[in-house]
């Protein structure tokens, strides 16, 4: 029984291999190839790849052209020829083409000044057809700060990824980060913003409704102006009770007019930073 | 038989009409119309306000000459998209404070049903005897209104342009804002566990913030999950601090081994305007004997604030947040007109309060 079964399977295999198909073992993505076949008569050609599945009527024994646009995605492909005497198949690999594109991820898009190793720039190396290029490639990273000379450094990619970590500058403002390879040159912008307010100080002067309480120009510890819109909280306690008001910085300073009844203590804070305390005396 | 059916139908209809009239307070109104006591006069007036019969209610006022009819209606119907425009008078309680021959005073507690939950309003009213009947003396609103003018506002505004659908993968997006929970304190209340604390927007852009908490038991299993919902100022400008409160009804502190806190932030368009000043803040006892934090809100800008929402954090002597309470104001904030507010806090907590911080959240009606 076992002998009979083996004989039947062998006959089927021999019958199936009557027509033959030959493809190149390796091919670069985006290149056209020709697949050679043997045999005769009408046949059907199937091409199955990572992002393609096609069926074509061909003549067995002829050369079958495969267009470049069918071979844009890197990976394993299977070519199958089915003729009247059975089907035969061959495998081949489509490898990524030369590195020519980058996906450039920069995080964060805003960062306080002087944040050590706070900026992460990651370049993902791809070919022209968006295939990852796993072989080591040199990626050039550059930093273009405003009014400063460009600084560049090369990093070799590992498994299609190259990265650098950077410390933000001491001066606020936008800085451009670039990454380039082949024809790709990607730019991202990181906004370096002032850190927390430093040495927050208020002064008071008499006004129509009470006292005008005003901060000195608000800066961080590196001397960068804290951006407009940042909230400064004023609090005052007098005979009438407590007064609080959250005021956004406008043109570098925050100010508010507070009604003061009798002796009062006025304090200031911005986020977790507190400033000086003032003691004033208003009319009863 | 042909005659019996119409008679039965007529009787049933009559019975139903009588029942409906009784149900709608007809008997009560009838009694009150003929009543001659001060509290009954107030009851009748609010009964008419409740059924939106403002003309009849207005006719019950002793000082109609001093009270504008439309202003009187606006006291209950609201204006400028205020909370009262999204509410209805659900019920009211009337209690006499002082009864005299010619003049009495009556306290009325109004219970509104609003878009954000129940809202109570207490009014102490003077009632005068006018002939055989009592009439309500309505307090005249003497609040000064800002005369027509142009107020220049040039505070910063942030708009956000995000990554488009057609952009390539890896194109930079604007990052979500950095927010940080500054403190968290778990408190056992008689009927719940309450988490209170503060959160700050550490970034240089506005953030829409929500704080969530997950309670874990001794085996690190999740036993409850809640968020701060409206007990937080969601929209925080750069470096702005907001109190938050998360309630876990029916929970016991002994069951909790650990708490997992999470502050979620979204980058949103926002304006630094309006600036709202909170003045005359005081811890007091209200006429009902409750401990309340009172004060006044003043909108410093030229924009009308439709629904102001007051959130107060209370600290103990060590600066720890021990309670957070909030309350919506029924009236809108008109430019530069002070409006009083009061938020209550538990009496046992009030004894421990050393200082407090009030944040004003606001909602505006968006016109389409």
pLDDT band for A4, please (50, 70, 90 cuts). very low
Query: Which domain-ending residue is among A40, A65, A95?
Result: A95
**3-state secondary structure string across A75-113:** EEEEEEEEECCEEEEEEEEEECCCEEEEEEEEECCEEEC
pLDDT value of residue A1: 42
CA distances from B36 to B33, B97, B99, B131, B133 (A): 8, 17, 13, 10, 5
For residue A14, what pLDDT is reported? 39
Pairwise CB contact (< 8 Å): A242 & B356? yes
Residue A130 token pair:
């968006």
Residue A138, SS3 per DSSP? strand
**What contacts A57, CB < 8 A, 6 or more positions away?**
A42, A43, A44, A45
Are both A261 and A208 inside the same structural domain? yes
Q: Are A57 and A71 found together in one domain?
A: yes
- pLDDT above 70 for B24: no
Does residue A276 or residue B131 have the better pLDDT?
A276
Rounded mean pLDDT, B88-117: 90
Which domains does chain B possess? 23-137 (3.10.450.100), 157-163+172-271 (2.60.40.10), 276-363 (2.60.40.10)
- Are B127 and B42 spatial neighbours (Cβ–Cβ below 8 Å)? yes
Contacts of A108 (CB under 8 A, 6+ apart): A118, A119, A190, B175
Q: Does residue A78 have a pLDDT over 60?
A: yes
Return the ∠ at Cα B24 (arms to B20 and B29), rounded to 5°. Answer: 120
Q: Tens digits of per-residue pLDDT, B174-201?
A: 889 999 999 999 999 999 999 999 999 9
pLDDT score, position A12: 44
Whether residue A184 is found in the same domain as residue A232: no
β-bridge partners, B109? B93, B122
Q: Which residues of chain B make contact with A185, given a CB cutoff of 8 A?
A: none
Give pLDDT, residue B257. Answer: 94
B161, A95 Cβ separation under 8 angstroms: no
Q: Are residues A41 and A75 in the same domain?
A: yes
- Percent of chain B exceeding pLDDT 90 equals 57
Do B326 and B233 contact (CB within 8 A), yes or no? Answer: no
Residue whose pair of structure tokens reads 């009496």 in the numeric block? B347
Of A105, A194, A272, the CB nearest to B170: A105
Contact A95, A26 (CB under 8 A): yes
Does the pLDDT at position A3 exceed 50? no
CATH number of the domain within which A251 lies: 2.60.40
Both structure tokens of B2 = 């042909």
CATH number at residue A89: 2.60.40.10
The tens digit of pLDDT for each residue in B50-86 reads 999 999 999 888 888 888 899 899 989 988 889 999 9
Closest CA relative to residue B169, chosen from A104, A109, A168, A24: A104
Which run of H or of E encompasses B107?
Answer: strand B103-114
Name every residue in B having a CB less than 8 A away from some CB of A: 154-156, 158, 168-170, 172-175, 182, 200-206, 237-241, 272, 275-282, 295, 300, 356-359
End position of a domain, from candidates A95, A123, A147: A95
Residues A189 and A203 in one domain: no
Cβ contact B170–A248 (<8 Å): no
Provide mean pLDDT across the span B207-227: 95
Q: How many domains does chain A have?
A: 3
Q: Is A284 exposed, middle or buried (0-12, 13-18, 19+ CB in 10 A)?
A: exposed
- pLDDT for position A13: 42
Contact A103 B168 (CB under 8 A): yes
Pick from B170, B272, B358: which is nearest to A248 by CB? Answer: B272
The pLDDT confidence band at residue A198, using thresholds 50, 70 and 90, is very high
Strands A26-28 and A86-95: parallel
The pLDDT-based confidence of A9 (bands split at 50, 70, 90) is: very low
CB B348, CB B157: distance < 8 Å: no
Residue A221 has pLDDT above 50, yes or no: yes
Q: Which residues of chain B does A233 touch, with a Cβ-Cβ cutoff of 8 Å?
A: 241
Phi, psi of B10 (to 5 degrees): -65, -40
Strand-pair category, A21-22 with A33-37? antiparallel
C-beta neighbour count of A36 within 10 angstroms = 14
CA atoms within 13 Å, Cβ hemisphere of B176: 8
3-class secondary structure for B274-316? CCEEEEEEEEEECCCCCEEEEEEEEECCCCCECEEEEEEEEEC
- Contact state of A241 with B295 under an 8 Å Cβ cutoff: yes
State the Cα–Cα distance between residues B60 and B68, nearest whole angstrom: 14
Write out the two tokens for B141: 């609103």
Q: Are residues A184 and A202 in the same domain?
A: no
A75 and A118, same domain (yes or no): no
Report d(CA A22, CA A63) in Å as an integer: 9
pLDDT tens string A115-159: 999 999 999 999 999 999 999 999 999 999 887 888 999 999 999
Among positive and negative, which fits the CA dihedral B58, B59, B63, B69? positive
Q: Of A193, A215, A245, which residue is a domain's last?
A: A193
Residue A265 lies in domain: 197-281
What are B263-315's pLDDT values in tens digits? 999 999 999 889 999 999 999 998 888 899 999 999 988 888 999 999 999 99
- Binding-face residues of A in 78-97 toward B, CB within 8 A: none
Token output for A163: 């990265």
Q: What is the per-residue pLDDT for B26?
A: 63
ipTM over 0.85 threshold = no
Same domain, A83 and A106: no
CA distance A118 to B316: 37
Nearest to A140 by CA among A106, A180, A99: A180
Give yes or no: residues A9 and A86 share one domain.
Answer: yes
φ/ψ of B18, rounded to 5, equals -65, -45
Out of B206, B276, B281, the one facing A241 most closely (by C-beta) is: B281
Inter-CA distances, A114 with A141, A145, A171, B203, B249, Å: 20, 14, 8, 15, 45
Does A109 have pLDDT greater than 80?
A: yes
Does residue A131 share a domain with residue A66? no
Residue A89 pLDDT exceeds 70: yes
Q: Is there a single domain that holds both residue A9 and residue A67?
A: yes
The arithmetic mean of pLDDT across residues B145-156, rounded, is: 80
Please, which residues 226-255 of chain A have a Cβ atom closer than 8 Å to chain B?
227-233, 235, 240-248, 250
Mean pLDDT of chain A: 88
């Amino acid at each position: 029984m076992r002998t009979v079964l083996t004989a039947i399977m062998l006959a089927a295999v021999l019958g199936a291999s009557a027509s033959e198909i030959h493809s190149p073992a390796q091919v670069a993505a985006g290149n056209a190839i020709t697949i050679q076949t043997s045999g005769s008569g009408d046949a059907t050609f199937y091409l199955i790849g990572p992002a393609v599945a096609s069926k074509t009527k061909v003549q067995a024994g002829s050369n079958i052209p495969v267009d470049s646009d069918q071979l844009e995605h890197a990976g394993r492909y299977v070519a199958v020829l089915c003729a009247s005497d059975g089907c035969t198949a061959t495998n081949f690999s489509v490898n990524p083409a030369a590195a020519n594109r980058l996906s450039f991820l920069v995080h964060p898009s805003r960062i306080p000044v002087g944040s050590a190793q706070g900026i992460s720039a990651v370049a993902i190396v791809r070919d022209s057809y968006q295939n990852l290029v796993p072989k080591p490639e040199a990626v050039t990273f550059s930093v273009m700060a405003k009014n400063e000379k460009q600084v560049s450094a090369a990093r070799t990619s590992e498994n299609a990824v190259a990265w650098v970590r950077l410390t933000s500058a001491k001066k606020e403002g936008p800085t451009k980060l670039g990454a380039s390879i082949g024809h790709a040159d990607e730019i991202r912008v990181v906004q370096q913003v002032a850190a927390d307010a430093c040495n927050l100080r208020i002064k008071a002067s008499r006004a129509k409704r009470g006292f005008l309480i005003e901060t000195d120009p608000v800066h961080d510890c590196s001397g960068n102006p804290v951006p407009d819109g940042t909230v400064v909280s004023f609090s005052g306690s007098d005979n009438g009770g407590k007064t609080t008001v959250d005021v956004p910085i406008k043109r570098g300073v925050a100010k508010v007019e507070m009604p003061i009844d009798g002796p009062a203590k006025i304090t200031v804070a911005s986020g977790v930073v507190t400033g000086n305390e003032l003691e004033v005396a208003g009319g009863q | 038989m042909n005659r019996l059916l119409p008679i039965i139908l007529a009787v049933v209809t009559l019975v139903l009409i009588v029942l409906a009239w009784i149900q709608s307070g007809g008997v009560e109104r009838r009694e009150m119309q003929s009543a001659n006591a001060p509290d009954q006069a107030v009851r009748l007036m609010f009964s008419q306000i409740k059924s939106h019969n403002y003309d009849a209610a207005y006719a019950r006022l002793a000082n109609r000459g001093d009270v504008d009819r439309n202003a009187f209606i606006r006291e209950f119907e609201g204006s400028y998209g205020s909370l009262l425009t999204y509410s209805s008078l659900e019920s009211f309680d009337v209690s006499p404070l002082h009864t005299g021959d010619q003049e009495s005073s009556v306290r009325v507690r109004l219970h509104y049903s609003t878009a954000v939950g129940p809202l109570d309003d207490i009014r102490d009213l003077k009632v005068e005897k006018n002939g055989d009947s009592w009439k309500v003396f309505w307090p005249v609103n003497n609040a000064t209104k800002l005369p027509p003018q142009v107020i220049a506002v040039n505070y910063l505004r942030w708009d956000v342009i995000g990554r488009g659908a057609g952009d390539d993968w890896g194109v930079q997006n604007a990052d979500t804002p950095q927010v940080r929970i500054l403190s968290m304190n778990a408190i056992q209340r008689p009927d719940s566990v309450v988490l209170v604390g503060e959160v700050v927007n550490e970034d240089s852009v506005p953030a829409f913030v929500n704080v969530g908490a997950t309670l874990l038991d001794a085996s690190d299993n999740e036993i409850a999950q809640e968020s701060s919902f409206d007990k937080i100022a969601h929209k925080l400008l750069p470096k702005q601090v907001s109190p938050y409160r998360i309630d876990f009804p029916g929970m016991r502190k002994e069951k909790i081994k650990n708490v997992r806190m999470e502050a979620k932030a979204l980058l949103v368009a926002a304006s630094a305007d309006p600036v709202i000043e909170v003045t005359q803040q005081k811890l007091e006892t209200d006429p009902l004997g409750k401990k309340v934090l009172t004060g006044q809100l003043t909108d410093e800008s030229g924009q009308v604030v439709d629904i102001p929402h007051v959130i107060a954090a209370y600290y103990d002597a060590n600066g720890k947040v021990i309670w957070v309470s909030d309350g919506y104001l029924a009236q809108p904030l008109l430019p530069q007109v002070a409006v009083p507010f009061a938020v209550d806090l538990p009496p046992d907590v009030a004894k421990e309060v050393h200082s407090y911080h009030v944040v004003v959240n606001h909602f505006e009606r968006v016109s389409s």
